[in-house]
A and B are shown apart, each in its own frame.
Chain A
């Protein structure tokens, strides 16, 4: 039995039936991290001691025949913007180096209550700003499929750690594609839940009207399994949906019969590389063979989503990141002047991309630009919502690539800012709409790098998205292909 390849339901069963102990599972992952993390730099902090202790506690409880929580002993690792009381949270920034939160994020508390063991914290683009993982202050995470390539971002460590099997499941965050794009690049499954479905209390904010936490896993089955613990109402998050969701794992059915998948014209854009296009069309053929129908749809406002996103995300970021001023937490410059304390602390400790986005956001929110850029963008965002509403009158789910290319070289997209931002075309409109979507592996390019297929659903249509993705995985084995370092 290869523990690292077990699905989460299988792992739970093996732990419940004492086929494997929690300590064995945690030890295995710690050994894997020791061996492979130096190659890919996915972890910023490994909580080996507390994980081993927690595993031992569950083993003792199980041995004594005592009750244990349902997921006791399953190791999870977190993007380093999710607050944890007993381990540092840095957002991969010098600003928060060595910072310990006084509380656990709601999802961390919920996962711990359910028995999950927190293995550590994962690298990311600094404050989640970036699409390649390269803006981290501490280290550059590499793609497990080819360590000369980026893992994508901003949840770079979460996708890479999952791909290399350095945790049983990981958590990321998605503001404009930051779960889906790196999951696509690393050949794993990344799920962005509907805005309001998963509590964000204790997740360091980037753009509050777009941010969402979600899981990255080996399979759709694993995503559904952990979503049952993540999708709980939280009174501490005013955007958290009060409606109790059904159990995604219990209702997971592989059924694509009669499913209408809408393919927007703009998702087969000119910049789509031929290898990605080919893999996507092969995936669509597979869907047809299991009973789905592909319908052409028109979503004319998706393209304008790029500048709309730029304006809204950066405006919200400039406001959210004002709290990093050297006073309450984080880096503090040594100066006797209050204004200098703010500005020197921020200038010294925030990364270049972060500073640029704060300045852009500040520009947009000035009274001279506010109407033209910020208010205009929020109105055009309504057009994007209408595009989605229209689309879901014609189809059940929207389908397309997760990104236009496969994983690129380090430094490969940093020449002009627009080049990097345009790469987000396929993912950002979903955040602007607020609904849910997934990326699943659907093939490889000629260099052997994974291609991600994206399925987007309506507001709170999590089950529909997961079932359609599950149907694909029941008919194919792309999700079971793993990079060499995960195979041993």
Chain B
């Protein structure tokens, strides 16, 4: 049996997912996640030796490639339209490097 997802585990995963959790969420999510993961333990009982993973329902059958022709796509203005902060045609974010 896999070890339970602890409070520390949950906080580590949430940080990876860039999600902050309050006390109430920590408690609820830990319980829910453990319930789901416990349920999923039954997956381990099946022997999948030499089974090819099914990545997509049509993998290797369809997925035609487009011809490599340069075409116009979204304009810079359109691409930036949804952002709440832009500057000189760029998405603006807070400063990431000191100095």
Contacts and interface: CB of A to CB of B under 8 A. Distances in A.
B93 interface: yes
Given A307-B39, A332-B85, A347 B19 contact: yes
Given A359-B17, A417-B36, A376 B48 contact: yes
A457 interface: no
Interface in B8-60: 9-10, 13-21, 25, 28-29, 32-33, 35-37, 39-40, 42-44, 46, 48, 51-58
Interface of A: 99-103, 194-196, 209, 235, 238-242, 304, 306-308, 310-311, 318, 325, 327-330, 332, 335-339, 341-344, 346-347, 350, 352, 355-356, 358-363, 366, 372-373, 375-383, 385, 416-418, 421, 433-435, 459
Given A307-B39, A307-B42, A310-B40, A347 B84 contact: no
A335 B56 CA distance: 40
Given A362-B16, A418-B36, A375 B53 contact: yes
Nearest to A365: B16
Given A102-B82, A359-B29, A417 B91 contact: no
Given A356-B32, A363-B37, 13 more contacts: A194-B57, A310-B39, A327-B93, A336-B95, A339-B18, A344-B20, A356-B33, A359-B19, A359-B29, A363-B33, A378-B55, A417-B32, A459-B58
B53 A381 contact: yes
Interface residues of B, number: 54
A330 B46 CA distance: 42
B96 interface: yes
Contacts of B48: 376, 379-380
Contacts of A381: 53-54
B62 A382 contact: no
Contacts of B37: 363
A417 B20 CA distance: 21
Interface string B58-82: 1000111110000000100011011
7 contacts: A196-B58, A209-B56, A328-B91, A356-B33, A359-B10, A363-B9, A433-B57
B56 A380 contact: no
B17 A196 contact: no
Nearest to B64: A242
A284 B17 CA distance: 47
Contacts of A350: 19
B43 A418 contact: no
B58 A239 contact: yes
B99 interface: no
B20 A343 contact: yes
B93 A341 contact: yes
Contact of A347 (B9, B10, B20, B66): B20
A382 B50 CA distance: 11
CB-CB nearest 6 A-B residue pairs: A434-B57, A329-B82, A378-B53, A102-B78, A379-B48, A307-B40
Contacts of B32: 356, 416-417
B34 to A, nearest CB: 10
Contact of A383 (B25, B51, B58): B51
Contacts of B2: 372
B94 A337 contact: yes
Contact of A338 (B25, B82, B93): B93
A100 B17 contact: no
B83 interface: yes
A235 B66 contact: yes
Nearest to A348: B20
B52 A359 contact: no
Kindly name the residue among B10, B19, B57, B84 whose own CB sees the greatest number of chain A CB atoms within 10 A: B57
Contacts of B74: 102-103
Contacts of B39: 306-307, 310, 418
Nearest to B16: A362
